[in-house]
Amino acid sequence: MVITSVGVAPVAVPPEAHLTLYSHLESLPRSAHWAVQHASDNDDGLHLSQAIRSGQAVAVSDASLHGTSGTSSTVVKGSSQEHRLLCHAQVPGPVKEGDSLRCKLAGSYSAVLCVNAICLQHNVTQGSIMVACDNINSLRPFKPEYLPNPRDANLDLMQAVWASVQQSPIDWNPVHLHGHQDRKVKESHRRLSALNCEIDARAKLFYWHLSTVLSTLEAPQLPVHNEGWTVWSGDIKLPSPSRECLYAAIQDPITQLYSI
């Protein structure tokens, strides 16, 4: 064997990895993972991308609230029953007693992040989706005239949903549903109402599941991607940093005299 020349070995370039819907979800900032880590889909979002392009897609979310903790569930589907995306999440704190709005917003946030990932995966640049919920206030961030306000309840999640909608390449059409239509006379949106009942049940099942695998169901204090500036009092986030809320957090008697 005779060496006839010497040179630098070429750098081996690995083949480009095939990006999947899940890889797009995993590439989201860490502060968004709580909302999408339990997402599941069986065809990489292909059917849903076609439904979004043709304006036939719907996203329905609901939640389950127990004391100061809660869960949300979301479904994104087109015309087919076989191909749809389901997502479940534990609602980040603080969750107040009776604050169902925060839990519903968590479901809306999951929906927008998942749909945006589908659009990125399949290069969807235009289309529309109908988003439905039985809490009318949770639909405000989807309306064109909405702008976040520090006085909004759960401003952090309202801002996160709104900012994520602004980043979306498609139109979002909000529809308010009456809750628990399985116990009442059916309304006009029968398809959406049926999904709402299903997702309500799934949110309750997910809460039960968490109760069996977690040592505590206390709502985790987490930053939320796209929530903007936040105010914290120690380890507790102030999700609605209105003037009254800030004065109460300061707990200075002299300062509180000027809160009126």
* pLDDT, tens digit only, all 260 positions of the chain: 666 667 676 666 554 455 899 999 999 999 999 999 999 998 999 999 999 999 999 999 999 999 899 999 999 999 888 889 999 999 998 888 888 999 999 999 999 999 999 999 999 999 999 999 999 999 999 999 999 888 888 999 999 999 999 999 999 999 998 765 555 545 556 778 889 999 999 999 999 999 999 888 888 888 899 988 877 777 777 777 777 777 777 766 665 566 55
DSSP track, 73-100: EEEEE-S-SSSEEEEEEEPPS---TT-H
Q: Kindly list the domain boundaries of the chain, sorted by start residue.
A: 21-230
C-alpha pair distances (Å), 116 with each of 169, 230, 256: 8, 24, 43
**In this predicted structure, what is the pLDDT of residue 183?**
52
C-alpha pair distances (Å), 83 with each of 86, 93, 107, 162, 184: 10, 32, 19, 27, 29
Is there a contact between 170 and 155 (Cβ–Cβ < 8 Å)?
Answer: no
- The verdict on domain 21-230 having CATH code 3.40.1180.10 is no
Is there a contact between 98 and 52 (Cβ–Cβ < 8 Å)?
Answer: no
**In this predicted structure, what is the pLDDT of residue 1?**
61
Is there a contact between 48 and 83 (Cβ–Cβ < 8 Å)?
Answer: yes
**In this predicted structure, what is the pLDDT of residue 145?**
94
User: End-to-end CA distance of the chain, in Å?
Assistant: 93
Query: What contacts 233, CB < 8 A, 6 or more positions away?
Result: 249
Is there a contact between 98 and 58 (Cβ–Cβ < 8 Å)?
Answer: no
Side chain identity, residue 25: L
Whether a cis peptide bond, with omega within 30° of 0, leads into 148 is no
pTM for the model: 0.84
**In this predicted structure, what is the pLDDT of residue 15?**
46
**In this predicted structure, what is the pLDDT of residue 258?**
64
Return the residue matching tokens 């390449």.
169
Is there a contact between 131 and 62 (Cβ–Cβ < 8 Å)?
Answer: no
The closest of 29, 40, 64 to 219, measured between CA atoms, is 64
